Amino acid sequence: MASSRHRLSLSRTRKGDAPVRTLDEAQEAYLAYHRAANHSPQTIEHYRWTFIDLGRFLADTGRTADLTAVTTQTMQAFHRWLVESPLRHSQRGSTKRSARSIQGRIKDMRAWLRWLDEEDWIERAPKVTIQKVPQTLFPILSDAELVRLFSCPHLTAKGEQGIRNRALVALLLDSAIRRAELIALTPADLLLADGLIRVTGKGSKTRLVPVSSSVGDYLNAWLRVRGEGDEPLFWLTQDGVRMLLKRIEKEVGFRLHCHLFRHTSASRLVRSGVDLHSVRRILGHAQLSTVEIYLTLDAQDIRSKHNAASPFEGIRAQMPAEKEAQPRRRRLNLG
């Protein structure tokens, strides 16, 4: 009987004895598939970096850089390598990959191998085990931090930049949009008379997101300064938004990034009683389970929710009155 490694390894030829295809060809074909399906550039870029890490792993471990090298055992070794090998570049200061980052790489590999199997590039996709990531609470901005943020000089200045900054930061908090969605906005996407903005998300899917009247006032003030035109609403690139938030960080003393506003917005919506299906539509997610990772409930939230819906308190009023316990008389010892 053939060994497990032999049975699970990828064939050097495609089904039907087609010519051998290289690892690069298999990866490029997969990226082309995503581009043809109009999937988001961020998704395609994520797969591209996964393939770069795979190439580094194969080189570091002396494995053959072709499809035959990708077996079940190789996938297990790739996972260990991701855990143990340092990042070459890190914006977070740490060279250790996070558990969620490693899980993302392995998910990419499983999706790619399944696609190769479906497209008859390989005889059978190896088994790829996705390890669970420990649940952690996403950080969110507290009320005190939000007050400090909107009181900082970058947001209170009376000039044109101050008007723009107030509108931009208020919109991030109120709408929970991503950075890429923010920079893609144009004045035509502001439907402020209806309290809405039109957002183009991943896969070029559009959705309508509500904004408050106060945020609408900030946006109208910016439009009066900005003037007409089809250019991006805030005249900023992704790097421009990142640099702006970095400058504000120095004034407020805590870290800021677009996803922090997204986490904060989602959490505050849920705390205010907005149902998860509505939050899912606001965030632009297809699956409800994806929304749940954005929700942060601290001990106070959980205690308040429990007190409001306590199973015992709900029936206590229907219970018979408790008789007050009488103190027991102590016998005198006369002996």
CATH of the domain at 53: 1.10.150.130
Q: Bigger pLDDT: 11 or 231?
A: 231
Average pLDDT over residues 321-331: 64
Q: Bigger pLDDT: 70 or 49?
A: 49
pLDDT at 160: 95
Q: Identity (one letter) of the amino acid at 30? A: Y
Task: Tabulate helix, strand, coil % of the chain (nearest 5).
Answer: 55, 5, 40
Domain final position from 60, 83, 118 = 118
CB atoms within 10 A of CB 149: 20
Claim to verify: residue 182 and residue 216 sit in the same structural domain: yes
Chain-centre distance of CA 165, in angstroms? 24
Query: What does the alpha-carbon distance between residue 286 and residue 270 come to, in Å, rounded to a whole number?
Result: 18
Residue range 133-154, pLDDT digits in tens: 655 667 889 999 999 999 999 9
The verdict on residue 323 lying in a domain is no
Nearest to 214 by CA among 179, 180, 166: 166
Claim to verify: residue 177 and residue 40 sit in the same structural domain: no
Say if residues 125 and 72 touch (Cβ distance below 8 Å). no
What is the 3-class SS of 32-63, one letter each residue? HHHHHCCCCHHHHHHHHHHHHHHHHHHHHCCC
Strand order in the sheet with 206-210: 190-191, 196-200, 206-210
pLDDT at 53: 93
Say if residues 11 and 68 touch (Cβ distance below 8 Å). yes
Claim to verify: residue 46 and residue 155 sit in the same structural domain: no
The CATH number for 183's domain is 1.10.443.10
Residue 299 has pLDDT above 90, yes or no: no
Q: How many residues does the chain have?
A: 335
Percent of the chain with pLDDT over 90: 47
The verdict on residue 300 lying in a domain is no
Nearest to 282 by CA among 185, 172, 188: 172
The verdict on residue 256 lying in a domain is yes
Q: In whole numbers, what is the pLDDT of the chain averaged over residues?
A: 82
Claim to verify: residue 106 and residue 156 sit in the same structural domain: no
The verdict on residue 85 lying in a domain is yes
- Residue 210's H or E segment, with its range, is strand 206-210
Start-end of H helices in 85-126: 99-118
The verdict on residue 134 lying in a domain is no
The verdict on residue 168 lying in a domain is yes
Claim to verify: residue 96 and residue 214 sit in the same structural domain: no
Query: What does the alpha-carbon distance between residue 221 and residue 226 come to, in Å, rounded to a whole number?
Result: 9
Asked which of 6-10, 172-176, 226-230 is least confident by mean pLDDT, the reply is: 6-10
Residue range 76-109, pLDDT digits in tens: 999 999 988 877 654 444 567 888 788 889 999 9
Residue range 158-198, pLDDT digits in tens: 999 999 999 999 999 999 999 999 999 999 999 999 999 99
pLDDT at 300: 58
Asked which of 118-132, 157-171, 198-212 is least confident by mean pLDDT, the reply is: 118-132
Beta-strand relationship, 196-200 and 190-191: antiparallel
Query: What does the alpha-carbon distance between residue 75 and residue 126 come to, in Å, rounded to a whole number?
Result: 8
Query: Which of the four pLDDT bands, split at 50, 70 and 90, describes residue 55?
Result: very high
- Residue 209's H or E segment, with its range, is strand 206-210
The verdict on residue 98 lying in a domain is yes
Number of domains into which the chain is organized: 2
Claim to verify: residue 88 and residue 178 sit in the same structural domain: no
Chain-centre distance of CA 322, in angstroms? 51
Chain-centre distance of CA 309, in angstroms? 30
CB atoms within 10 A of CB 138: 15
Claim to verify: residue 208 and residue 243 sit in the same structural domain: yes
Claim to verify: residue 189 and residue 288 sit in the same structural domain: yes
pTM of the predicted structure, to 2 decimals: 0.62
Residue 119 has pLDDT above 50, yes or no: yes
Question: Which residues does 99 contact at the CB level (< 8 Å), separation at least 6?
Answer: 133, 134
Query: What does the alpha-carbon distance between residue 65 and residue 47 come to, in Å, rounded to a whole number?
Result: 17
Asked which of 217-226, 287-296, 302-311 is least confident by mean pLDDT, the reply is: 287-296
Claim to verify: residue 195 and residue 59 sit in the same structural domain: no
- Residue 197's H or E segment, with its range, is strand 196-200
Claim to verify: residue 102 and residue 243 sit in the same structural domain: no
The verdict on residue 329 lying in a domain is no
Claim to verify: residue 255 and residue 154 sit in the same structural domain: yes
Q: Which residues are catalytic?
A: 178, 202, 259, 262, 285, 294
Claim to verify: residue 92 and residue 210 sit in the same structural domain: no
pLDDT at 57: 93
Query: What does the alpha-carbon distance between residue 21 and residue 116 come to, in Å, rounded to a whole number?
Result: 11
- CA angle in degrees (0–180, nearest 5) for 261-263-266: 105
Asked which of 158-172, 234-248, 319-333 is least confident by mean pLDDT, the reply is: 319-333
Domain that residue 113 falls in: 4-118
